[in-house]
Amino acid sequence: MRYKISGCLLILVLTGCLHGYTPAPSNTSILPIKTLTPPFFISSAVPSTLIVNTFTPTPIPSTITPTPSPTPPPEVMRYLRFEISDHLPISAVVTGTIVLSGNYIFQYNPPDKNFEADSYFLNMKTGEKIIFSPKGDRSLMHFAVSLNQQWLAIQKLNENPVSLSIIIMTAKGQTYTTIEVERDWGGFEWLDDKQLIIDRNIRKEEGNSEKGFAGYFSLILLNPFTSHQMELRPEYPGIFSYDPMYTWSHNMIFNSTLTRVVYPNSESGPSILLWDIQAGKKIVRLHFGESPEWSPNGKRLAWVVDVGPDYRNPLYSAQEFFIVNQDGQITRLTHMTDYLHYVSISSYSWSPDGHYIAFWMITGENNPIQLAVVDTLTSQVIVYPINANFTDIFGPNYLVLTNDTAPIWSPDGEQLLVVTFDPKDETRNLVVLVDIVKNYAAMIIENMIPVGWMRGP
């Protein structure tokens, strides 16, 4: 997850110091492209046994007939009830550094409701603020945090000349290095503690006709600390290699150890294929779904599948979480649609230890978007009395299945940061801390956007 903010949406951000790794400082530079060689991409000499003309997707367990009851049993879904406090409890223990943007999303608000402010790092232990972007600065395009929550990467739009750069910062607001990016590079996220995965869009009309492609999407693997980079090309059997699939961050989703990849497979109908990179072979073909995301340790993949009989109907939704491990064993994680007639899942994120998944959900066409957390060990879903406040960006009651608005986890995996609204004044954005262990919610600040939670300083 991976978890990011790109274009006009929200992102996750975190940073600090690496344990056991001290990178050498690097200067601002434009880096040469090096094409990654096998086993990271598959050559054209693919055994014919891997290319099938027909297939049956891995079976998805069918749901039972929904019951009239609107409330599932507590072992399936548990609903909490409490008020959002206007301050943290005296006994609250909150650690790490929160990254807050005061400029980012508010450029989409009407002028009379534009609450621009400085963007800064907020030390939750001391209350110290370190400004990294002044009020009115809208040059920051994209944020991402390393998996160890100690490095922050920011994509910045430069004015003269018009170009993009990636800035690597610490939790103390210090710039470690700045790298000028190529013009065909796009959004990015961290693969692990040291490497970024960056979108690359190759277009023939721009003078690029490699391997006869009219245009295709690949990925760049970049280590900003050593300036080493490699290209990960979409050269797997049956991969859909052009525009990224709807709700997918990329068309190749690699785990953090670069031993597994999943990608949309277009042979004989849509599906997802889990591929063993080291062995160069298919592990399992999965039922097609949305928004696949690896756990931080790279051992499990979550994705969202519509298990209903009318999944092509945009007015109907019966979505559930499924998990597959790196060996291909599939588990249906949630069972909400066994009891509810309508479930739409959006914008989720794994906890740092991989124990929980936090997400937004709707359980009815006219219901609010609610915060929920699923325990990946027990499959129990906890629904919190917190409603999302990002519908105005997309239009009323419009739920987008991306991770751009995903809840942000604390380094210890016990708390979340989300954005909601004041019921008495819906133009006020409230940044709320939700403690999933002590079951309370408290406002941290208003009219700001959280873009990350870092481990340091």
Give the CA count within 13 Å in the CB-facing half-sphere of 254.
Answer: 26
CATH number at residue 182: 2.120.10.30
Mean confidence (pLDDT) of the chain: 77
Higher pLDDT, 116 or 399: 116
Is residue 30, in this structure, part of any structural domain at all? no
Is residue 77, in this structure, part of any structural domain at all? yes
Is residue 365, in this structure, part of any structural domain at all? yes
> Strand pairing of 196-203 and 281-287?
unpaired
Work out the angle at residue 240's Cα, subtended by the Cα atoms of residues 234 and 242, and round it to the nearest 5 degrees: 75
Cα separation, 325 vs 320, whole angstroms: 17
Q: Is-contact 97 124, C-beta < 8 A?
A: yes
Helix (H) or strand (E) holding 273: strand 271-276
Tokens of 420: 């909601």
Cα separation, 198 vs 189, whole angstroms: 7
Q: State the greatest distance between any 2 C-alpha atoms of the chain, in Å, as a whole number.
A: 65
Higher pLDDT, 58 or 139: 139
- Residues of the domain holding 236: 4-24+63-454
Strand partners, 218: 200
Is residue 285, in this structure, part of any structural domain at all? yes
Closest to 256 (Cα-Cα) out of 350, 125, 130, 119 = 350
Tokens of 366: 């006219």
Q: What are the distances in angstroms from CA 409 to CA 71, 223, 359? A: 27, 24, 11
Q: Is-contact 431 422, C-beta < 8 A?
A: no
Closest to 417 (Cα-Cα) out of 98, 86, 88, 78 = 98
Residue 96 has what pLDDT? Answer: 95
Is residue 34, in this structure, part of any structural domain at all? no
Residue 217 has what pLDDT? Answer: 80
Residue with tokens 């066409």: 365
Q: How many CB atoms lie within 10 A of CB 242?
A: 15
H-helix segments, 288-343: none
The answer to which of 16-30, 81-95, 134-148 has the lowest mean pLDDT is 16-30
Share of the chain above pLDDT 70, in %: 70
Q: What is the sign of the dihedral through the CA atoms of 14, 16, 20 and 25? A: positive
Which pLDDT tens digit goes with each residue over 281-304? 999 999 888 889 999 999 999 999
**Which of 36-50, 211-225, 334-348, 400-414 shows the highest mean pLDDT?**
334-348
Confidence class of residue 334 from pLDDT cuts 50, 70 and 90?
very high
Which pLDDT tens digit goes with each residue over 391-426? 443 333 333 333 457 899 999 999 999 988 777 776
Confidence class of residue 313 from pLDDT cuts 50, 70 and 90?
low
Average pLDDT over residues 326-336: 96
Residue 79 has what pLDDT? Answer: 93
Is residue 47, in this structure, part of any structural domain at all? no
Is residue 409, in this structure, part of any structural domain at all? yes
pTM of the model: 0.80
Q: What are phi and psi of 194, to 5 degrees?
A: -125, -15
Q: How many CB atoms lie within 10 A of CB 329?
A: 11
Q: Is-contact 156 140, C-beta < 8 A?
A: yes
Tokens of 169: 């910062």
User: CB neighbours of 282 closer than 8 A, spacing ≥ 6?
Assistant: 50, 237, 273, 274, 275, 276
- How many domains, the chain? 1
Residue 173 has what pLDDT? Answer: 92
Is residue 361, in this structure, part of any structural domain at all? yes
In the chain, count H helices and then E strands: 1, 32
The answer to which of 18-32, 58-72, 296-310, 434-448 has the lowest mean pLDDT is 18-32
Which pLDDT tens digit goes with each residue over 231-285? 998 888 888 765 555 567 778 999 999 999 999 887 766 789 999 999 999 999 9
Closest to 3 (Cα-Cα) out of 242, 293, 283 = 293
